[in-house]
A and B are shown apart, each in its own frame.
Chain A
């Protein structure tokens, strides 16, 4: 096997020994490897990049799905920011980001910490994990039965003589968004707990035992030991939650269809509504491009910050 051409360059070109002709690294596997990766590259290009480019092009046009798109430049983007429905959708999506990151992450961490090291901890976590096995659509249908007017929650409150039986959980904004975040948290908490448990199990025993010997326990132990050591897992859990919350669609579509009067729409629902309900493909594509850009930037910014922080720790 030939040695890699990684010799350090001379400090000064002048007066240095004549450089050996650089030998090109010949890898006999390069072309077969490229050939094998070609189908995957083609599939990704055809199914991912081309549709994205097409969507971006459509967002610059007036198009109702019939005939040919008509170029309008950035008009659809300008109209998007002037549209009250879009701004409501943006507000709701921000609520989803905040709610989905804080509630299921905090609850998942709490469950993981409380059940960690317990003899029957796995059984304790199981009920929280089961909802994750259910599809988002099924979760939406179940929670509609619970939260609709006169539904399970209202009946239960009424039966126990508690206030709130007349509350219109799914009709009034922003409460409908808040309760739907609760339904999503119900589904997401278990898997977050599971991920945190994996993180906890990967923490070596020695520093924990040493900290205990030094008298650390409870909150101090968590804050100064568990929490920093769980940071890689937290980065993953929050990163996944961030992306999932930005593209929230199924549960909202099933529970409220973005209504009433479009007051519970998220950006993904607005994208669908404009494209497929209103047949305004240009407007829908503009929302899609905006949502993609926001998701990409948020994910990249968050991960870069987290990873750079980890390197400096």
Chain B
């Protein structure tokens, strides 16, 4: 009997504690006595340690930290963010995409403008002016850049040394390197039929006709344009010639490069961090080079550039603190910490990137030798991108006549651009 009463008392006490815990919200940045916490959501769940590294620094210098929630599934994350705007729990800070996805949020008046932050950051030299257009919708800027990455060719140094290969400086040299590898039974390039199936289309078109690449993204050119068809035919020739690894191999790209399944990977500079995570050392085990243009007569080398925004929801609980955090994020202190934690480049030219090849690329990209082009994934409106990813995925799996695929993508493009007026 005593035991039963004791159990009841314990249950009552536990209930009181649970209710007490549910009743308070200590995460409110404005109400906190110590470093405030800002709700931060991202689909880059695997990057939690790096975000928390920056959060440690921001708590010391800004008095604000990140209350991190990371999704590992981008689709679930997108649905969560979209639905959160229908609730009172709007995210203080969250990662998103530039291009049509950013425009969708602005069209519904869901984002807090960041124009004043951009003006200050551009004035301070914390961000190149050219980046601003990717965050501009109408007259205002929204969000700040979370990261920046360039798309280059990573290679396994041991394999290159084994076959006496050097970094190519022209497309012809790149093909010679590929032929040598192929003749020795090594797949030259990584290829996948999941998500990043667009990468080689992007590389071949940007390196052949960058104007057409931009026109395609803005709906001013057709996917059935002879220039696009020619690029697809070139890609098909490379696929059929055995230049690519198995597109159905679900081994991670970093492991494929480490294991020597492929000798080269056309990827964003964030791959450096992933290669470091599988115990590959920059400059010793792997290196990278800028992919030469297919068309040698182009005045500048096309360099694919990618940036992802960090946004603040309008009327979020900690909107003011979140915008303060976004402003700090663009600064030198945050970007030095972030770039080195990630093992990647930074959009902030003042950031001290420790990885020497990445630091050099960061500097070179600002020179007039390179033409920066927005990554196809962000540059293409979502419905068109979806059709393109499906088409490219099927194409790399079963190379054949590209016209039906291009016509399907163009039908989506026609529907999208006509609805956009």
Contact = CB atoms under 8 A, between A and B. Distances in A.
Contacts of B390: 85, 259, 261-262
B354 interface: no
B249 A148 contact: yes
A172 to B, nearest CB: 7
A55 interface: no
A66 B386 contact: no
A168 B396 CA distance: 13
B394 A260 contact: yes
B83 A171 contact: no
B108 A261 contact: no
Contacts of A257: 194
Scoring A263, A272, A276 by chain B CB atoms within 10 A of each residue's CB, the highest score goes to A276
Given A66-B110, A261-B394, A150 B193 contact: no
A67 B110 CA distance: 9
A176 B141 CA distance: 46
Interface in A69-101: 85
B250 A171 contact: no
A217 to B, nearest CB: 50
A275 B79 CA distance: 9
Contacts of A64: 82, 104
Interface in B362-389: 382-383, 386
Interface residues of B, number: 30
A276 B79 contact: yes
Given A65-B83, A66-B85, A260-B397, A171 B193 contact: yes
Interface string A121-143: 00000000000000000000000
B79 A144 contact: no
Interface in B288-331: none
Interface string B172-214: 0000000000000000000001100000000000000000000
B391 interface: yes
Interface string A144-184: 10001110000000000000000010111000000000000
B283 interface: no
B193 A259 contact: yes
Contacts of B76: 276
Given A65-B82, A276-B76, A260 B110 contact: no
Interface string B396-410: 111000000000000
Contact of A259 (B78, B105, B249, B393): B393
Given A149-B249, A171-B248, A279 B393 contact: no
Contacts of B85: 66
Given A259-B193, A261-B391, A148 B83 contact: no
Nearest to B408: A84
A82 to B, nearest CB: 11
B75 interface: yes
Nearest to B395: A261
A163 B386 CA distance: 37
B250 A148 contact: yes
A65 B391 CA distance: 25
B104 A66 contact: yes
A297 interface: no
Contact of B246 (A150, A259, A260): A150
Contacts of A260: 193, 247-248, 393-394, 396-398
Contact of A278 (B107, B382, B391, B394): B382
Interface in A222-242: none
B105 A66 contact: yes
Contact of B248 (A66, A85, A148, A261): A148
A38 interface: no
Interface string B248-292: 111000000000000000000000000000000000000000000
Contacts of B78: 276, 279
Interface in A186-222: none
A200 B283 CA distance: 68
A277 interface: yes
Contacts of A272: 75
A279 B248 contact: no
B250 to A, nearest CB: 6
Nearest to B105: A66
Among B85, B194, B247, B393, chain A packs the most CB atoms within 10 A around the CB of B393
Contacts of A168: 248, 397
A257 to B, nearest CB: 7
A149 B246 contact: yes
A291 B194 CA distance: 26
User: Quick one: which of A66, A262, A275 has the most chain B CB within 10 A?
Assistant: A66
A277 B194 contact: no
A276 B75 contact: yes
Contacts of B249: 148-150
Contacts of A279: 78-79, 82, 382
Nearest to B73: A276
Contacts of B82: 64-66, 279
A145 B110 CA distance: 43
A9 B70 CA distance: 71
A277 B246 CA distance: 25
A277 B75 contact: yes
Given A66-B108, A261-B393, A279-B78, A170 B248 contact: yes
A172 B398 contact: yes
Contacts of A66: 82, 85, 104-105, 107-108, 110
B101 to A, nearest CB: 9
Interface string A23-55: 000000000000000000000000000000000
B305 to A, nearest CB: 25
Nearest to B83: A65
A148 B246 CA distance: 10
A263 B386 CA distance: 14
Contacts of B398: 171-172, 260
Nearest to A255: B250
A25 B299 CA distance: 95
Given A65-B83, A144-B250, A261-B397, 7 more contacts: A64-B104, A66-B82, A259-B393, A260-B247, A276-B75, A278-B386, A279-B79
12 contacts: A66-B108, A66-B110, A149-B248, A171-B398, A260-B393, A261-B390, A261-B393, A261-B395, A261-B397, A277-B386, A278-B382, A278-B383
Interface of B: 75-76, 78-79, 82-83, 85, 104-105, 107-108, 110, 193-194, 246-250, 382-383, 386, 390-391, 393-398
What 3 pairs across the A-B complex have the smallest Cβ distances?
Answer: A261-B394, A65-B82, A260-B397
